[in-house]
Structure formats: C-alpha cells, structure tokens
Amino acid sequence: MIIDPDHSVIDRILAGDQAAYAELVNKHKSYAFTIALRILHTRPDAEEAAQDSFIKAYHNLRSFNRQAKFSTWFYRIVFNTAVSYKRRQRQHFQDIETTVIHYSQEAEGMLEKTDKKKYIAKALLALSEADRTALSLFYLEEFSMEEIAEITGMQTNTIKVRLHRARLRLAEELKTMLNHEAITL
Amino acid sequence: MKTPSAIHHKLLEYIDGTLTSAEVQALEQQLKTDLALRARLNELRASHAALRAILPQEQPSRDFTLKVMENLHHAPSQDAAQPIRKSILLLAGALIAAIGTAILMASGLFDSVTTTLDLNAMKPADLVMDTVPTLKINARMLVNAVIIGNIIIAFIVLDRTVLKPFFQKRLSS
C-alpha cells in the first residue's frame, strides 16, 4: 500500500469530520484548476469543472481504494470532468474551427507579454488537443509519465510517445516560426 | 510527425534526467563528435526551458474552497451519462437496422430487384465516345453493403461505450 499523507485526512472525513475536506481542497485546488484550464481554456468553465470534480470526489471517497495516491485518483476525476465539459462546450457553443480561434485569442491575450511567449502559444496551437493536454500535465511537474497515463486513462508507452512527439513537434514549430532565432532567444 | 526515433527519445530523456549513468556517458560521448546531434539537443533544451516558463500552475478564485464546501452535499453533475446513453441507443439502432435488413434479405425480397443505369441517355453531345457502358445495379449487393456498414458501426460503438470503459474501470480498480 502507498504511503500518502492524504489518506489520514480521508480517514477523518470518512469518520464524519466534513470540514477536513477543506484541507484536501486547499492542497489540490491549484493543480485541479490548472488541469481543467488546460483542457477548457476559459477560467469560468475551468473553475466550475474543478469544483464539480471536488464534489464528485467527495461523494465517491468511500470507493477510493488507496492502491494509488489520492492525487492521481482525484486528478483523473478532474481530467474526465473537464473532458465532459469540453464536449458540452463544443455541443452548445462552438464547432471545432471557432474553438481553435477562441483558444488562439485567449492564449495570445494571455501570453503576448513577450514575443517568445507568443511564438510558443502559436506552436502549441499546432499540436493536437490530446498532445497539448499531455504536454500541459507533464510541465506541471507534479506527475510522472505513469501518473499522467493513469490520469488520462492511456498506456504509459502511449503517453511517452505522445509527449516526446509533442515536444519534438514544438521544437520544430518554434524553429520554423522563428527561423532558427527563437531557439536562442 | 511520426513516432520519434530512438535517438530523439534518448535526447529528451537526457534533458529530463531519466537516463541511467551508463546511457548518459554513451550519449555524451556521441554528442562530443556529432555536431548535428548537439544542435538538436540545444533546440530541444531551449523549447523545454520555454515550456517550463510558459506553462505555470494557475490559481483559482479566492473563494474556491468556500464554494466547494458550500456545495458538498449537492449532487455532482451527471454530464458524462448523457453521451453513454446516446451511444447505447446508437448501438441498439445499428443492430436493429442490421438485423432487420438481414431478415428482409433472407426472405428474398431483394433477389429480383435489379436496375440498369443507362448513361447513354445522359451523355453530353460533345463526348468523343460513341457509347458509354451501362451499369447494372443489384439491390442485394447494395443491401449487403448497408448491413456490413451497420455491423462495423455497431462494433465501433460497442468498443467505445461498453468494452473500453469496462476494461478501464477494471484496470483502475
């Protein structure tokens, strides 16, 4: 069994100390929100998806079997919830084309502080949605490849290939975009 | 881009620090003599550093925890159930269509239904060819194609909505 400090907090919650759940929320809210934001690209949707994930996790806390870290189990809920929200976003508001434009505007608005950031944001847009998500999770630096695989429900090897492919593609995009100069910025 | 080559995997693992010391030594030896490889490593390092800087952890709103705690006893949204229900309906529809058509086919309904498409009647006046071939269309063949198409759809939907979630659930538990 894994030693995870979150397990003792879960014991308290399951024993009836509901307020202890706030400790888990405070500890994991930033990553949960970041994961949701990387998938949904808008802060209000990401906030709603992250909150919903905490509520889902609370209702399913008894079914958490402690074979893995609480964070891995929970971030998988966040990932799946955000993906469902994304599907709903697409159904209700936009087709794929406008989603890409929307992301571009948001990403550029957020990143236009420097040219370098702008170029990277553009290069990121050239990646597939799945590759971009894997890359985002990897660069949060909280997760190993195995954990990213568990969170996204993919095989570790698939994640490894996907990540490496995305990183190479990004380097290529940057090189092309900046005519070799961005690499040395 | 295709699957990364072995040397690209090595370079990225070198950057991430996940190579064994023997692998590091071998790669560093190679880097001393291979200028192109060294240039590639530098490109990857630069984009790695840029990504680390650009993909930071985000912070939710200040009252995030409060909102979660206030809504803890509300039922979580069931948005994932809707597509599954739709997919199961699609699976049932595809199977019913395939079975229904197969029953009609077995009854011999389409055996004698054939038609000939005479392209000569639609031939443009300036066409060089004197006659164009006529096409014989057999309803039995068309219906067979429809049945096969339905069965393929049913297999795909079965895989995505029933088998994959089932095995993923087993794997995670």
Residue ranges covered by each domain of chain A:
1-93, 116-185
Measured CA to CA, the distance from residue A157 to residue A176 in angstroms comes to 28
Rg of chain A over all Cα atoms, to the nearest angstrom: 18
The mean pLDDT value for A96-123 works out to 53
Q: Same structural domain for residues B89 and B44?
A: no
Per-residue pLDDT of B65-112, as tens digits, reads 999 999 888 777 665 445 567 777 888 888 888 888 888 878 877 777
Q: Which residues of A touch B71 (CB under 8 A)?
A: 51, 55
pLDDT given at position B83: 59
Q: Same structural domain for residues B108 and B168?
A: yes
pLDDT band at A182 (very low <50, low <70, confident <90, very high): very low
Q: Same structural domain for residues B93 and B42?
A: no
Q: Same structural domain for residues B116 and B162?
A: yes
Examine the pLDDT at B121 and tell me if it is beyond 80: no
Which of 1.10.3720.10, 1.10.10.10, 3.90.76.10, 3.40.50.1220 is the CATH number of A116-185? 1.10.10.10
Measured CA to CA, the distance from residue B151 to residue B149 in angstroms comes to 5
Four-residue CA torsion sign, A79, A82, A83, A84: positive
Q: Same structural domain for residues B92 and B145?
A: yes
Contacts for A54 with CB less than 8 Å, ≥ 6 apart: A21, A24, A25, A28, A29, A32, B68
Which of 1.10.1740.10, 1.10.3720.10, 1.20.210.10, 3.20.20.140 is the CATH number of A1-93? 1.10.1740.10
Whether A30 sits inside 8 A of B67 (CB atoms) is: no
Measured CA to CA, the distance from residue A43 to residue A110 in angstroms comes to 12
| Cross-strand pairs, B117 | B135
A7-to-A69, A175, B164 alpha-carbon distances in Å: 8, 46, 29
Residue B72 counted as domain residue: no
pLDDT band at B122 (very low <50, low <70, confident <90, very high): confident
Q: Which residues of A touch B79 (CB under 8 A)?
A: 81, 84-85, 87-88
Q: Inter-axis angle of helices A156-178 and B35-54, to 10 degrees?
A: 100
**Count of the separate structural domains present in chain B:** 2
Q: A78, A145, A167: best mutation site toward chain B, by most B Cβ within 10 Å?
A: A167
Highest mean pLDDT pick, A61-65, A89-93, B140-144: A61-65
Query: What is the residue type of A16?
Result: G
Interface of B with A (CB under 8 A): 1, 3-4, 8-9, 12, 42-44, 46-48, 50-52, 54-55, 57-61, 64-65, 67-69, 71-72, 74-77, 79-80, 83, 168, 172-173
Cα–chain center distance at B133: 40
Q: Same structural domain for residues B113 and B162?
A: yes
Residue B146 counted as domain residue: yes
A97 touches A103 (CB < 8 A): no
What is the extent of the structural domain holding B99?
Answer: 83-172
Instruction: Report the Cα–Cα distance between both ends of chain B, in Å, rounded.
Output: 35
pLDDT band at A69 (very low <50, low <70, confident <90, very high): confident
A36 touches A51 (CB < 8 A): no
Residue B99 counted as domain residue: yes
Q: Same structural domain for residues B96 and B148?
A: yes
| Cross-strand pairs, B114 | B138
Residue B28 counted as domain residue: yes
Per-residue pLDDT of A19-53, as tens digits, reads 999 999 999 999 899 889 888 888 999 999 999 99
- In this complex, which of A29, A161, A172 lies closest to B60 when CB atoms are compared? A29
Average pLDDT, chain A: 79
